[in-house]
Amino acid sequence: MGVRSHILYPVFFLITLFAAANCSQYRVIDKELECEAVIDNYRTYYEIFVGGFSDTNKDGSGDLQGVIKRLDYLNDGKPNSGKSLGIEGIWLMPVMPSPSYHKYDITDYYGIDPKYGTMTDFEDLIAECNKRGIALIIDLVLNHTSVQHPWFINAKQAIKEGNTDDRYAKYYAKETMKITGKTWHKFETTPDGTQYYYEGNFSSVMPELDMDNPDVRREIAGIVKFWLDKGISGFRLDAVKYYYYGEDYRNIQFLKWLNDECKKNKSDAYVVAENWSGITSIQNYYEVVNCFDFGMSGTAGDIYYTVSGIESVTEYAGRLASYQKRVLGKNHQAILNPFVSNHDMDRAAGFLDVGEYRMHTAANLYMLSSGCPFIYYGEEIGMKGSRGTEPTDANRRLAMLWGDNDTIKDPKGSAYDRAKQTNGTVKSQLPKKTSLVNHYKKLIRLRKANPEIARGVIEALDFSEYTAFGGFISDYNGSKAAVFHNTGEKEITVNLQNYTDMNFSVVRGYAGKGRAVLKGPLLAVSGYTSVILK
Ligand SMILES: [Ca+2]
Ligand SMILES: [Ca+2]
């Protein structure tokens, strides 16, 4: 379902917006907001590395029961309690059996890694998510298997015996010579001395499947059906530009087939693809599948550039509007998927200081924008973790900082100095109104209370005489809301009549260091604060 088609079930609840405690001279605003609980695919997602999240059997590794145990923190199923973060979707990084800590090399596409628990645990998790209205999507790693997958072991044996036409030997992309532009590894030698190589662009332990093989396609269709039948809501597709490495057109054709397979089993399945590429490539993939908006993320992304003042908020809003326009031009039902960092990137709190409200401001930018924002676990408490001089992504996937008696440990291979974790834990932040976690909580509530933000068509406004101030109008089937960001330190007052014909009558809420006040057409917004007007 897309931008223009979904069902709304109106409910009403009270949302209480507090002025930041360090701005106690501002009055506290209590405002009743009509909130719509929405049954569609526009959700706030939370990405979980299960192995680093929460440990219930005290072996130091996170597990599925740990995710279940922590659901009350994520979404307690009571929208009025104000006690949980309020996320509406979970992306689980791979849960299938795998020899690695990160599990991006699968040995069984129909199972659960024993470190994480059992299939019964997974079914329990689905049931708990359903109770709370959380959509559960799982990582689907199809480009390559593990070298320990029985398919690969059988393939090796078959080639060794000279059976190069064996079913499993044909599962893998193999050649008798190393073709330029791709990475090849020694597969096996036939009895007549022919050396075969397999494609492994990521790693020698990640052999790539031959996506043209009808048996592989049937296998993939079976895997998709198996998990959707379990009751999950969809998939995050890993490394989609590697299906046919360097061939966007063939990847897009394959993704159309794969997305159709998902929709065949579940018509409203949510499928989001990792095409870690430039915007031009990403927008072309949007024609057939939703993608992550990599242009926003990381230390070269729009969010970092805007929060750091390298680019103006007007440039940011303009880019957001033009990106959305290009994507919707490819597919009018497409949904954007903004984020600031994920498991493959240095954690955002390392490059955006929490004390200086840069993380709060970054959260304002991507949480108050179109589509499904994705929060990487721990981001909401300003957890740090970066590669630094260590050549390992384990530093980016450290144990969640609960601050309670969780026995979760950092993954094997990580070497991040714990003394650098200066932003506190879930336990230390929850009682503090101005903490990052409570800021995220507020942003999620604002998103829910203002469906225009996620679902509307964006029109950027021109505030180009400011660097740190700007905004846009989001038009959802004629219902309009506007978002204004102040990414700088100083309060800014603008006369909105000079920038738009839209008349605003109500502050729907604000989030950040300070407050926002609307008097007639005059809008005053404190530093590091964003506001929603209608
Ligand atoms: Ca465990
Ligand atoms: Ca491939």
- pLDDT (tens digit per residue) in 139-161: 999 999 999 999 999 999 999 99
437: Cβ–Cβ under 8 A, 6 or more apart, which residues?
Answer: 85, 380, 381, 426, 429, 430
Q: What are 428-472's pLDDT values in tens digits?
A: 999 999 999 999 999 999 999 999 999 999 999 999 999 999 999
HEC string for 135-202:
EEEEEECCCECCCCCHHHHHHHHHHHCCCCCCCCHHHECEECCCCCCCCEEEEEECCCCCEEEEECCC
Q: For residue 181, how far is its CA from the centre of ligand 2 (angstroms)?
A: 12
36: β partners: 10
Q: Read off the pLDDT of each residue in 116-128 and give the average, rounded to a whole number.
A: 98
Q: For residue 276, how far is its CA from the centre of ligand 2 (angstroms)?
A: 15
350 alpha carbon, distance to own chain's centre: 18
Q: How far apart are CA 73 and CA 209, in angstroms?
A: 39
Q: What is the largest CA-CA distance in the chain?
A: 86
Which one from 88, 238, 261, 393 is the annotated catalytic residue?
238
Q: Read off the pLDDT of each residue in 161-173 and give the average, rounded to a whole number.
A: 97
Q: For residue 219, how far is its CA from the centre of ligand 2 (angstroms)?
A: 16
Residue 6's pLDDT is what?
Answer: 39
Closest of 381, 388, 301 to residue 339, by C-alpha: 301
Nearest ligand to the CA of 60 is 1
189 alpha carbon, distance to own chain's centre: 42
Q: How far apart are CA 416 and CA 410, in angstroms?
A: 9
Q: Does the active-site annotation cover 274?
A: yes
Q: For residue 445, how far is its CA from the centre of ligand 2 (angstroms)?
A: 41
Closest of 458, 429, 279 to residue 349, by C-alpha: 429
Q: For residue 474, how far is its CA from the centre of ligand 2 (angstroms)?
A: 39
Nearest ligand to the CA of 142 is 2
Which H helix or E strand runs over 132?
Answer: helix 119-132
Q: For residue 398, how far is its CA from the centre of ligand 1 (angstroms)?
A: 15
Residue 386's pLDDT is what?
Answer: 96
Reported pTM: 0.93
Q: For residue 208, how far is its CA from the centre of ligand 2 (angstroms)?
A: 5
Q: How far apart are CA 456 and CA 492, in angstroms?
A: 26
Nearest ligand to the CA of 210 is 2
Nearest ligand to the CA of 213 is 2
Residue 79's pLDDT is what?
Answer: 82
Q: For residue 64, how far is its CA from the centre of ligand 1 (angstroms)?
A: 8
Are 66 and 59 spatial neighbours (Cβ–Cβ below 8 Å)?
Answer: no
Q: What are 29-61's pLDDT values in tens digits?
A: 334 454 545 579 999 999 999 999 999 999 999
Q: For residue 393, how far is its CA from the centre of ligand 2 (angstroms)?
A: 22
Nearest ligand to the CA of 408 is 1
- Three-state SS for 481? strand
Which one from 63, 274, 346, 380 is the annotated catalytic residue?
274
Q: How far apart are CA 440 and CA 170, in angstroms?
A: 48
Residue 37's pLDDT is what?
Answer: 52
Residues surrounding ion ligand 1 at CB below 5 Å: 55, 57, 59, 61, 63
Residue 388's pLDDT is what?
Answer: 84
Q: Does the active-site annotation cover 59?
A: no
Nearest ligand to the CA of 145 is 2
How many helices, marked H, and strands, marked E, lie in the chain?
A: 14, 20
Q: Are strands 529-533 and 479-486 parallel, antiparallel or unpaired?
A: antiparallel
Task: State percent of the chain over pLDDT 70.
Answer: 93
pLDDT surpassing 50 at residue 9: no
Q: How far apart are CA 302 and CA 12, in angstroms?
A: 35
Q: Are strands 29-39 and 45-48 parallel, antiparallel or unpaired?
A: unpaired
- Three-state SS for 9? strand
209: β partners: 172
Q: For residue 240, how far is its CA from the centre of ligand 2 (angstroms)?
A: 8
Closest of 270, 210, 269 to residue 242, by C-alpha: 210
Residue 391's pLDDT is what?
Answer: 83
512: Cβ–Cβ under 8 A, 6 or more apart, which residues?
Answer: 20, 357, 360, 361, 364, 439, 486, 526, 527, 528, 529, 530
- The model's confidence at residue 384, banded by pLDDT at 50, 70 and 90, is very high
Q: What are 398-433's pLDDT values in tens digits?
A: 999 999 999 999 999 999 999 999 999 999 999 999
Residue 48's pLDDT is what?
Answer: 99
DSSP 52-112: GT--SSSSSS--HHHHHHTHHHH--S-TTT--S----EEEEPP-S--SSSS--S-S-TTS-
- The structural domains of the chain, ordered by start, are 40-100+109-137+223-452 (3.20.20.80), 150-199 (3.90.400.10), 457-533 (2.60.40.1180)
Residue 82's pLDDT is what?
Answer: 85
Closest of 176, 179, 172, 175 to residue 156, by C-alpha: 172
Q: What angle do CA 299, 305, 306 make, to 5 degrees?
A: 140
pLDDT surpassing 80 at residue 310: yes
Q: What are 481-510's pLDDT values in tens digits?
A: 999 999 999 999 999 999 999 999 999 999
Q: What is the pLDDT of the chain when averaged over all its residues?
A: 93
Are 134 and 90 spatial neighbours (Cβ–Cβ below 8 Å)?
Answer: yes
Q: For residue 117, how far is its CA from the centre of ligand 2 (angstroms)?
A: 30
DSSP alpha helix (H) spans, 413-480: 426-429, 436-449, 451-455
Residue 345's pLDDT is what?
Answer: 97
Nearest ligand to the CA of 63 is 1
Q: How far apart are CA 227 and CA 265, in angstroms?
A: 10
From residue 314, alpha-carbon distances to 148, 318, 451, 464, 511 in Å are 51, 6, 22, 6, 19
Q: For residue 56, how far is its CA from the centre of ligand 1 (angstroms)?
A: 5
pLDDT surpassing 70 at residue 396: yes
Q: What are 198-214's pLDDT values in tens digits?
A: 999 999 999 999 999 99
